[in-house]
Amino acid sequence: KLIQFHLLPTFVSTANFDTLSNPVRTQAGDDTFRLGLNVTSSGNQVNLTTGIVNATVGGTVYTDRQLAVYQVDKVLLPRDFFVAKPPAPAPAPEKAKASSSKKKSADNDVVAGDDDSASAASVKQRCLVSVPVAVATIIVALFSW
């Protein structure tokens, strides 16, 4: 992503930097908060800012009017590398099930046909398989250490 952050998807000549709309899209992605690159141009000077780094275009290394390589005085570090990403949204709550169709017995066992009991049995089965695998992995790691 760091290299892609230094690439623009279209050819931009030094004379056209002032026509770019900020934030400029890079090959790293479209998220303008995390991957925003702002370009300002004044005369022959072109400045780039990411919110973390301010850099200056020092000159043209290569151009053939389809591709341009510019010298930049600093590595452009996207905000994405330094700002914590927001947590993933919580899953949507499940719809409430009708309480009259599900009854519990006196010893709190769930009545057959309850979806929750099938899920609980599935979790128990996975745990019964996971614990021996984890123990075996630890034993193998200790012997190979």
Split at pLDDT 50, 70, 90, the class of 116 is low
The answer to whether position 14 is within a domain reads: yes
> Is 142 contained in some domain?
no
User: How much is the mean pLDDT over the chain?
Assistant: 74
Residue of 106 and 138 predicted with greater confidence? 138
Helix (H, G, I), strand (E, B) or coil at 80: helix
Q: Residue holding tokens 């000159």?
A: 59
pTM above 0.85, yes or no: no
43 sits in the region (left: phi over 0; alpha: psi -120 to 50; else beta) called left
In tens, the pLDDT along 8-57 reads: 999 998 888 889 999 999 998 888 778 889 999 988 899 999 988 999 99
Cα gap 12→9, rounded to integer Å: 9
Asked if the structure places residue 32 within a domain, the reply is yes
pLDDT (0 to 100) of residue 30: 81
Domain count for the chain:
1
Q: Is residue 121 one of the residues assigned to a domain?
A: no
Contacts of residue 32, Cβ cutoff 8 Å, sequence gap at least 6:
23
Domain annotation covers residue 20:
yes
Integer Cα distance of 46 and 14 in angstroms: 8
Q: What CA–CA distance (Å, rounded) separates 108 from 67?
A: 71
Name the CA radius of gyration of the chain, rounded.
29
| 123 in a structural domain | no
Q: Residue 48's domain spans which residues? A: 1-78
Residue 4, token pair as written in the block: 């892609």
Share of the chain above pLDDT 90, in %: 32
